[in-house]
Structure 1
């Protein structure tokens, strides 16, 4: 098994007839999936998604894949294949299209429809679409693509087989093997087996659930639990789920009809996505069940269901605002039931429990994955992955989509079925498939690209470190005026502090040491303003750390007069 190494060098030129695979996101994290395949000087990209920030990334809205290593080769891209419509697979597409708008977009009907609404928000209208279905083949340059139906937590997901002169790659996208899916569309294992018979040279497999033994339960297992919640609830029911989870919304709509309740969507993305799904026939909405959210106040609470965004505790989502009692027209009452029909994405636990506690404080009963079976994963567990390896029998395996522990677990599964060459790569690590063998050949620059308001890529890790210091320790500013003729302190130091509960009277004890240090520095010939500011920073930093055990941001200003 190959492991990435932090000291990998820039990869050599791709050998003639070889296929180069580079992930710009999605390897070592759950999100921002994007992989480039290069053959004969041309590039095919699969997925272009976002990652949502964690608490230690204050002010960041989204994190994009880092495609800087191919930025000067965007004209070589033949197409962008989108495996399904989740944000972590399509969300960064508008940012890529800002750099080259005519990249052909390839995906299923629902995937492209969800992407279209996103592109309109970014004012990207003149895009090139290729709508595909399972079983269909398309050729872009040297890449012959074949699409395979896979089952996931969103309809219309696809795996893609990529044939080139270097061999065949099979990329699963996100998938599971639900044998009784709500929409009747199962993962096409017959196609997987047929491709395996032809010979899969490199198998890229979803690792997200590789540590979970057995098989992922069917979506249908949740239906009785939802029905029980509806049967036992005496007042309003609020269901929170992902804004793209068409299957879960369908289950809630069916339960609402059975229990004679009206349904309203809350949250802009929920309203938009479910309208798209309904228009395309992926969501069956019974006549008369849907009402506008603002009409709910006119209905008795035992006849009301709200389907809301915010199952991950997102601070600006509908559910978070409901929990804080600052939503425009939804107010939690004693006896309401809130159903969190989703899993916990790693890193979101605190935010979710904060919302649960907020809802419980107002008297709501909260049903979540911790106390009821209200969600099943959209990803294949270990038993399903073993099954796939046995029917595909790939020559090489590259685990994708997951944290490093997930990919290592997936690698162990592949090796257990007899796969001899399993490559573990991370974002930016370059893997070449040459003469039937996949191996790591180098690494390209690949970091986090932060979206902060309208700024893309301008915020650095150093900026985030400064924000964390400001948020945790506050800051101290020191203003000193130095007489440029005499070289003596003419005014100040004037000291201000915010966010660290320091007693302003205590600053008196550090003012004279600052003056002494400046006098000494100037006497030693250090008259440059920057050097004098560094002197102030050292003196204040040492004092505040020793006297108060704090490490605030220190902002010295030395003015020459």
Structure 2
């Protein structure tokens, strides 16, 4: 579905002196974050991320925002501001810059380093501008001030945008850890100053709006990790996001205490940790880090592996280990630590990997168990209430979350005194205008999924994915029949080939006479067109398979004229 809101018309041209916000991703879903801001004929983009596919999108590598509504206006884009370096905020940048490589990228030092490494793989050399918290830059008509926020990756930023039409504060992803590992807290004083100046539209992270209270400090995890290290008998394999430098730091410190060596597994993990170390965000204790190729020289009780795959991604290292499709064989009494919580929608994949690892005899420690080995990077309801009371926004647009998260965030804003009529609930593609201090929904633009499928971008569609799901779930049947080109009578076949069926192939002998009879009947009525005969075959075998075997396979009828 390319247009998620057929009830909403295309938005009218933006009124003079108004501010327009168009989310192209991240609203109604976790991922694919991208927001376009328009004022006075100019555009500013905040984030440009990807969404990772689920079981309903077999074969898809990545899901991008739909750039259609901005492609013919790329010359109007003053900058792309990246709030932090997670894939759901930077992963789609190469695909947008493929259309116009010189759009300025703005972000913190670490964020730009991560996106530059990604762009290098796409052979794109970007124009970048590094900014820091407290800094202020003008991009055309947009006056942007950057604010430090605490998240599960260092160097994250919120952005306060001033325009003649009003002000906008976008938190990015944030939480309010008061004892962060790097000492960099969310700058509530800067939020308060923005509130005193006046925030006309507040775009705030909704991911944990349904979670009461406050997110525990990252430091609380260290003792749990140390405990696992003390009791582990053999190898320890740690899975986490390749961008989670804080968690990797805690593992490195625990390994040093336990006298273990650490190796990074996977290209993204190696690349990102190298960048983090070079920029001072990761401190590797002397002698702890070794090359993965040298692990065979060490006893099992002196080894730690840090890899990707904590979300059950099928091609990530941990899932391949669970399937015995990796050079590292998981053995009995190995300890596996999943240092993340499942992203909504990934729960089934994560449990599948956990079950596979436990079947191999490994001990699996995860966020759903008795040990707290992960805390979220997103503000819970108590923290959001604090921020609402500090900022006192005039209008609120909840972002970054599924519908239930957006609704919960709306309710928190109402509880702190924001009028419900000033909190538009929008999804991807829904356009919100700020006019005379009031935010309203004014229309919608296309914001469907754009699939990266191998080397193709945007060519895979829902019809293709439906075919893949049928092939995966229901099987495949091909029927080849030779007919007389004049009479349409069957002269050879039908030859039936089936794949994905538990039943013996001989069962299809039952349907051959039915196919011949259906074709003879069609021929007697004058049907000789190949396409018409193919449809006759499809109906005959489809009805039989549905009634007899209770399946709805993909059916490929082939009619050859002789």
TM-score, normalization by structure 1: 0.96
Alignment of 1:438-457 (within 5 A): 438-457=439-458
Aligned residue among 321, 332, 335 for 1:334: 332
Alignment of 1:351-500 (within 5 A): 351-371=349-369, 372-420=371-419, 421-500=422-501
Whole-angstrom distance in 2 between the partners of 1:543 and 1:150: 61
Whole-angstrom distance in 2 between the partners of 1:106 and 1:130: 5
The equivalent of 1:42 in structure 2 is 42
Q: CA deviation at 1:544?
A: 1.4
Query: Deviation digits for residues 502-551 of structure 1, max 9, x if unmatched?
Result: 44333333333323333333444443322221122112211211222211
The equivalent of 1:540 in structure 2 is 541
Query: Bigger CA drift: 246-255 or 377-386?
Result: 246-255
Q: CA deviation at 1:465?
A: 0.9
SS in structure 1 opposite 2:273? helix
SS in structure 2 opposite 1:355? helix
SS in structure 2 opposite 1:305? strand
Instruction: Tell me if 1:213 matches 2:218.
Output: no
The equivalent of 1:72 in structure 2 is 72
* Contact 1:480-1:489 at 8 Å conserved across structures: yes
The equivalent of 1:101 in structure 2 is 101
The equivalent of 1:132 in structure 2 is 131
Query: Bigger CA drift: 330-339 or 536-545?
Result: 330-339
Whole-angstrom distance in 1 between the partners of 2:544 and 2:360: 46
SS in structure 1 opposite 2:115? helix
Q: CA deviation at 1:218?
A: 0.6
Using a 3 Å threshold, how does the CA distance of structure 1 residues 77 and 486 change in structure 2: closer, same or farther?
same
The equivalent of 1:84 in structure 2 is 84
Query: Deviation digits for residues 138-157 of structure 1, max 9, x if unmatched?
Result: 11111111100000000000
Instruction: Tell me if 1:345 matches 2:346.
Output: no
Q: CA deviation at 1:5?
A: 5.6
Query: Deviation digits for residues 282-319 of structure 1, max 9, x if unmatched?
Result: 11112221111121221222222221211112222222
The equivalent of 2:247 in structure 1 is 248
* Contact 1:428-1:444 at 8 Å conserved across structures: yes
Stretches of structure 1 that go unaligned for 5 or more consecutive residues are none
Query: Deviation digits for residues 441-498 of structure 1, max 9, x if unmatched?
Result: 1111121111111111111111111111111111111122222223322322222111
The equivalent of 2:515 in structure 1 is 514
Whole-angstrom distance in 2 between the partners of 1:170 and 1:408: 19
Query: Bigger CA drift: 82-91 or 37-46?
Result: 37-46
The equivalent of 2:303 in structure 1 is 304
TM-score, normalization by structure 2: 0.96
Q: CA deviation at 1:321?
A: 2.7
* Contact 1:108-1:158 at 8 Å conserved across structures: yes
Query: Deviation digits for residues 170-214 of structure 1, max 9, x if unmatched?
Result: 000000000110000000000000001111000000000000000
The equivalent of 1:259 in structure 2 is 258
The equivalent of 1:11 in structure 2 is 11
